[in-house]
Amino acid sequence: MNYIFPKLKVASENDEITSSKIIQLIDKLTEEINLEKDEFLYILNNITEKEITYLNKKAYDVKYKHYQNRVYLRGLIEISNHCKMGCKYCGINYKVKTIKRYRLTVDEILECCKSGYLLGYRTFVIQSGEDSYYTDELLVDMLKRIKEEMPDVRVTLSLGERSKESYQKLYDAGTDRYLLRHETASRRLYEYLHADFMSFDNRRECLSNLKEIGYQVGAGFMVGSPTQTNEDLVEDLVYLKELGPHMVGIGPYLCHEDTELKGNDSGTLSESLAMVALVRLILPKVLLPATTALGSLHTIGREKALKTGANIMMPNISPTENRALYEIYQNKICTTDTSNQCRNCIEGRIVGVGHVIDLGVGDHIDIERVTDNDR
């Protein structure tokens, strides 16, 4: 396990003064919804399991205040594992030759949406590697068909970096939300983790463009990636506070042995959950998924995330035969279940930790509803 918080690495306990300073900073953060960089860094450099328990409870309380114990469900469709990008941690990046590639047609995507609709989902997250097959024209056709057949749903796209014009066309055609993890707000770490042809600045520009157009925007980052430091994690918090996204996806780095980063330790559950909690405190109303990566790292990783401020889960509604091929990291869970099984399993997990499922569209609570006619 790749620990970044030094006191977790050696499992040490704090003296009373340090412990009470961390608790004071967590209280200040809860009240003022922000801290100085050096204060965030103090927390990360000194926190132990004892203060993490306190932090996670504070984050849960803030979530409860805004969303109570409701968990929004999103039906996730992984439409293609073709990708032209070179994220060195990702098992479907263009260099990986060991994976069989697939992509879904618009008809197949529609079928997934319809079966998801029957299971009660009212948001579909359509996700893919960066695959040029999905032109604006094809996606506009797909969006129109989804919205015509199921006018009461929200569509989230997660298709990577595109031009501002393309984002605008997809928005005009009915897309409600766009997920584009910033991956890391540290330029040094971004450049270490990505191929030379990829651009830290372009990724940020894409996020600004998405916000400017009017999307509900999701950003996000990995915890525990090779060479990541606490300073890098503080940059993530500062950047998220500035950007003000509607959603933030946070997951541990999970090593894939067919990538350039093979042989590295994966991130840890405690640190990933602590970052979930800190994001809940800096962005109290944000939508926070209990990510599949957390569930893949630990059997009850997602349940723990719900107890730490997360309020979204994304059951998979992709065709079962393709799921194992969307292997962005190894040992990914839920690759053999049917959509029905996923729905039942997730509901059981949610109810098991005292939460209830919410099958509404699940917008961020500050969003005024934009109907397709308003676009």
Instruction: Check residue 90 for interaction with ligand SF4 (CB under 6 A).
Output: yes
Interface with ligand SF4 by CB under 6 A: which range of 19-27, 81-89, 246-254, 330-338?
A: 81-89
**Closest separation between CB of residue 109 and ligand SF4, Å?**
17
Q: Which stretch binds ligand SF4 (CB under 6 A): 21-29, 72-80, 85-93, 266-274?
A: 85-93
> Could you say which residues in the range 266-295 bind ligand SF4, by CB under 6 A?
none
∠337-118-318 over CA atoms, to 5°? 35
Sorted by sequence, the CB contacts under 8 Å of residue 31 that are 6+ apart come out as: none
Output 75 or 129, the one with its CB closest to ligand SF4: 129
Site string for ligand SF4, 125-144 (x = CB under 6 A): ----xx--------------
- Which residues ranging from 321 to 340 are in contact with ligand SF4 (CB under 6 A)? 328
Nearer to ligand SF4, 160 or 319 (CB): 160
Q: How is residue 14 written in tokens?
A: 């704090």
Could you tell me which stretch among 79-87, 137-145, 230-238, 281-289 binds ligand SF4 (CB under 6 A)?
79-87
CB atoms within 10 A of CB 246: 22
Report, in angstroms and rounded to the nearest whole number, the Rg of the chain calculated over CA atoms.
20
Q: Name the one range near ligand SF4 by CB under 6 A: 83-91, 230-238, 296-304, 310-318.
A: 83-91
From candidates 26, 77, 83, 240, binder to ligand SF4 by CB under 6 A? 83
| Min CB(328)–ligand SF4 separation in Å | 5
Which residue's CB is nearer to ligand SF4, number 73 or number 85?
A: 85
Helices 106-118, 339-352: crossing angle, 10 deg rounding: 40
Question: Of 43, 87, 294, 350, which lies in the binding site for ligand SF4, with binding defined by CB under 6 A?
Answer: 87
CB closer to ligand SF4, 236 vs 358: 236
Tokens representing residue 283 in the block: 């962005």
Give the count of residues interacting with ligand SF4 (CB under 6 A). 10
Stretch that binds ligand SF4, among 24-32, 51-59, 84-92, 223-231 (CB under 6 A): 84-92
Instruction: Show the binding pattern over residues 153-172: x = contacts ligand SF4 (CB under 6 A), - = does not.
Output: -------x------------
Residue type, 222: M
Query: Binding residue for ligand SF4 (CB under 6 A) from 85, 222, 275, 350?
Result: 85
Closest CA to 281 of 49, 65, 45, 58: 58
Stretch that binds ligand SF4, among 53-61, 66-74, 82-90, 298-306 (CB under 6 A): 82-90
**Smallest gap from residue 51 Cβ to ligand SF4 (A):** 32
Residue number with CB closer to ligand SF4 (25 or 90):
90
- Nearest approach in angstroms of CB 131 to ligand SF4 is 9
Place of tokens 């780095």: 253
Q: What residues form DSSP beta bridges with 73? A: 313
Of 352, 353, 312, 307, the residue nearest 56 (C-alpha) = 307
Binding interface with ligand SF4 (CB under 6 A):
83, 85, 87, 90, 92-93, 129-130, 160, 328
